Amino acid sequence: MNELDARALRLFRILFVVSAVWNFAGSIPGLLDPAGMFEREFGRALTDPVMVAVYRGAWGTAFLYGFGFLMAAINPTRHTGIVLMGGVGKALFALNLFFMYLNGWTSSFAVIVIGGDVIFVSLYAIYFVMLKRRGHSIL
């Protein structure tokens, strides 16, 4: 197996640290003030306590993915499954949020979230291509 060169390894470690920070930047406010985060993202109040709990739970998942990306930063060739799960999660979330944006269900704040997740997913695709070319298994 060909190992990633030192430069690529360093860049991927930086990518995963930045990914973790991105997740924490959204999830911590979402955990601490889910109704406020919902209002920023969707432009309407969230008052139903059950939906507040569900929305907080979604941010809890994003928070956990942040720790997963930190794990991937430590050893990018070992933790490919975490990156795959996080990347698929980001892709599906961005697609769903984009659909909601097109239907007028979100505020313009959603464009920042969509754009950021699309950039991360694209960079993860490059990561997987580079690993595959060097003979690493994706899972």
DSSP assignment of 25-67: HHHHHHHH-HHHHHHHHHSS----HHHHHHHHHHHHHHHHHHH
pTM: 0.89
Is residue 30 pLDDT above 70, yes or no? yes
Residue bearing the bigger pLDDT, 67 or 8? 67
**Predicted confidence (pLDDT) per residue in 67-103, tens digit:** 999 999 999 999 999 999 999 999 999 999 999 999 9
The secondary structure of 61-99 as a DSSP string is: HHHHHHHHHHHHHH-TTT-HHHHHHHHHHHHHHHHHHHH
Q: What are the sequence ranges of the domains in the chain?
A: 6-133
Q: What is the pLDDT of residue 131?
A: 92
Is residue 1 pLDDT above 70, yes or no? no
Using a 10 angstrom Cβ sphere, with 0-12 exposed, 13-18 middle and 19 or more buried, the burial of residue 17 is middle
Confidence of residue 137 (pLDDT cuts 50, 70, 90): confident
**Predicted confidence (pLDDT) per residue in 31-63, tens digit:** 999 999 999 989 899 999 999 999 999 999 999
Closest CA to 64 of 33, 23, 121: 23
> How far apart (Å, rounded) are the C-alpha atoms in residues 115 and 110?
8
SS3 101: helix
Residue 135 is classified by DSSP as T
Q: What is the pLDDT of residue 11?
A: 95
SS3 20: helix
